[in-house]
């Protein structure tokens, strides 16, 4: 379309020029004493136009001639810059291919070529960022080669290099270098050094998924279960793990923290830090309640922690394994003291109701019998424990059931029955 418009315009100019020139009878007289020169006006105009065009093209030719050195210099700079970027790409390709020595040499070649440009007075706008990336690649390669001295040297220079470019680029390069340093320290099994690098990060960067994953690994390596638990809970909120992986991780961390807890206040704070999904976990709730009772904590608190697990056992017993049911029974037995309180009476009613609803479950018979014994309901305790003792699968529970039957026999002053029960307990 543009070419057609130019062609139409050219024809219009030609037609206008022909019309004006054909009817133009003017002349131009030039007096140069004693001579007189008469020229056609058309010829004069044509000569002026040609002179102007000649001067214009001559000026452009001279300008292009004088620009040749600058263009040559610009071309050489462009070639050097392309060679520098080609070396950077080669370093990255060699690193991805696992040729770490070649990758480091290519990265060092980038630095050498950039330095030659700088020494020649040609400073790139992104020179600082280019050097920083080259140093990081060289440090990565040195880390893969287990050359810690070279790695640290390039890391220090990478943290100082990105002085040019935009502020966002500088900040990204510095933060990226610190994250790489944290990962390298973690690979060296130096958890404290890794945590130091992570603590130096800005708050926004420290809450990124990559940084929190590194912090979680470093905290677990350093044995700081509390920090690891907080980080893991944040990662779970960011959906960084699958549900199965997060459950397994939280369970192991909480178990570790429970084992290191020696005060009731610490145990309560630990339980408060957990989210609702973790509190609903069968293994965690049972383990926490058992440790709470070991610390001589209030049994009411332990039963409150176990209440959701108890309800799950009664509504969907298939969701609890046999080992979990056994553990829950043992911890519930420890938490029930037999005191004449409203809550103990409520629990007695709940356990008896559950036992009547499932009369063939020996664990419920044992638990109901033990609670009746503690509340001095000797008759009910005798019947329930006598039914449960022979069929209990766990030796420790069978032993406890027979000992309880021996105590009940002593209460009745039936020495023979007590001796028989003690004999059976000793055989377990």
pLDDT, tens digit, for every residue of 187-206?
Answer: 889 888 888 888 888 888 88
Confidence of residue 164 (pLDDT cuts 50, 70, 90): low
CB-based contact 87:110 (threshold 8 Å): yes
SS3 content of the chain, % helix, strand, coil (to 5): 80, 5, 20
Q: What are phi and psi of 221, to 5 degrees?
A: -65, -35
8-state DSSP, 389: G
Cis before 34? omega within 30: yes
What ranges in 120-147 are assigned the alpha helix state H? 127-144
Contact 411, 378 (CB under 8 A): yes
Q: What is the mean pLDDT of residues 245-258?
A: 79
pLDDT reported for residue 162: 59
pLDDT at 19: 65
Q: Which residue's entry shows tokens 């020179």?
A: 127
CA distances from 394 to 44, 49, 400, 409 (A): 124, 115, 10, 23
For residue 181, pLDDT beyond 80? yes
Count of CA atoms in the C-beta half-sphere (13 A) of 94: 21
Provide the pLDDT confidence category of residue 102 given band limits of 50, 70 and 90.
Answer: very high
Return phi, psi of residue 377, to 5°.
-95, 75
Determine how many CB atoms are found less than 10 A away from the CB of residue 96. Answer: 9
Neighbours of 333 (CB within 10 A): 17
pLDDT band at residue 286 under the 50/70/90 scheme: confident
More confident residue, 138 or 246: 138
Q: Would the pLDDT of 2 be above 70?
A: yes
What's the longest Cα–Cα distance across the chain? 166
State pLDDT tens for residues 105-150. 998 888 888 888 777 777 777 778 888 888 899 999 999 888 888 8
DSSP 3-state of 39: strand
Place 229 in a pLDDT band, splitting at 50, 70 and 90.
confident
Residue 22 has pLDDT above 70, yes or no: no
Range 89-106 average pLDDT:
90
- 50-59, 104-113, 146-155, 417-426 — which is least confidently predicted? 417-426
Residue 428's pLDDT band (boundaries 50, 70, 90)? low
Band the pLDDT of 289: cuts 50, 70, 90.
Answer: confident
The per-residue pLDDT for 246 is 75
Cα separations (Å) of 246 from 219, 233, 237, 251?
16, 9, 10, 8
For residues 160 and 155, give the distance between their C-alpha atoms in angstroms, rounded to a whole number: 9
Residue with tokens 């056609």: 40
pLDDT on residue 21: 63
pLDDT given for residue 88 in this prediction: 86
Q: 88 with 103: CB under 8 angstroms?
A: no
The secondary structure element, H or E, covering residue 217 is helix 209-222
C-alpha–C-alpha distance, residues 103 and 88, integer Å: 9
CA 387 – CA 390 distance, rounded (Å): 7
At residue 332 the predicted structure's pLDDT band, cuts being 50, 70 and 90, is confident
Which 3 state secondary structure label does DSSP give 32? strand
């Amino acid at each position: 379309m543009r070419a057609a418009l130019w062609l139409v315009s050219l024809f219009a100019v030609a037609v206008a020029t022909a019309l004006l020139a054909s009817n133009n009878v003017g002349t131009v007289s030039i007096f140069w004493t004693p001579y007189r020169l008469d020229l056609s006006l058309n010829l004069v105009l044509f000569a002026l136009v040609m002179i102007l065009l000649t001067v214009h093209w001559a000026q452009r030719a001279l300008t292009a001639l004088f620009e040749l050195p600058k263009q040559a210099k610009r071309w050489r700079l462009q070639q050097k810059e392309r060679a520098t970027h080609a070396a950077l790409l080669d370093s990255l390709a060699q690193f991805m291919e696992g040729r770490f020595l070649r990758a480091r040499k290519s990265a060092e070649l980038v630095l050498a070529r950039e330095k030659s440009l700088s020494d020649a007075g040609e400073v790139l706008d992104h020179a600082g960022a280019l050097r920083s990336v080259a140093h990081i690649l060289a440090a990565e390669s040195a880390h893969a080669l287990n050359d810690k001295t070279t790695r640290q040297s390039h890391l220090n220079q990478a943290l100082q290099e990105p002085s040019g470019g935009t502020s966002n680029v500088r900040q990204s390069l510095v933060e990226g270098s610190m994250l790489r340093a944290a990962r390298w320290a973690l690979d060296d099994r130096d958890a404290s050094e890794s945590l130091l690098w992570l603590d130096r990060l800005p708050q926004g960067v420290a809450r990124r998924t990559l940084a929190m994953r590194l912090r979680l690994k470093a905290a677990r390596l350093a044995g700081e279960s509390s920090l690891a638990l907080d980080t893991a809970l944040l990662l779970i909120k960011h959906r960084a793990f699958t549900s199965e992986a997060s459950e397994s991780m939280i369970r192991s961390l909480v178990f570790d923290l429970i084992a290191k807890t020696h005060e009731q206040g610490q145990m309560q704070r630990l339980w408060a830090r957990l989210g609702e999904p973790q509190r609903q976990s069968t293994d965690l709730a049972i383990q926490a309640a058992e440790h709470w009772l070991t610390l001589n904590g209030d049994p009411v608190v332990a039963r409150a922690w176990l209440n959701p697990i108890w309800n799950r056992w009664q509504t969907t017993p298939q969701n609890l394994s046999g080992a979990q049911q056994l553990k829950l029974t043992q911890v519930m037995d420890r938490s029930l003291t037999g005191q004449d309180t409203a809550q103990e009476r409520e629990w007695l009613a709940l356990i008896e109701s559950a036992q009547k609803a499932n009369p063939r479950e020996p664990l419920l018979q044992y638990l109901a019998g033990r609670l009746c014994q503690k509340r001095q309901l000797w008759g009910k305790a005798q019947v329930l424990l006598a039914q449960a003792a022979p069929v209990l699968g766990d030796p420790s529970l069978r032993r406890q059931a027979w000992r309880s039957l021996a105590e009940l026999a002593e209460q009745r002053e039936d020495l023979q029955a007590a001796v028989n029960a003690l004999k059976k307990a000793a055989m377990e």
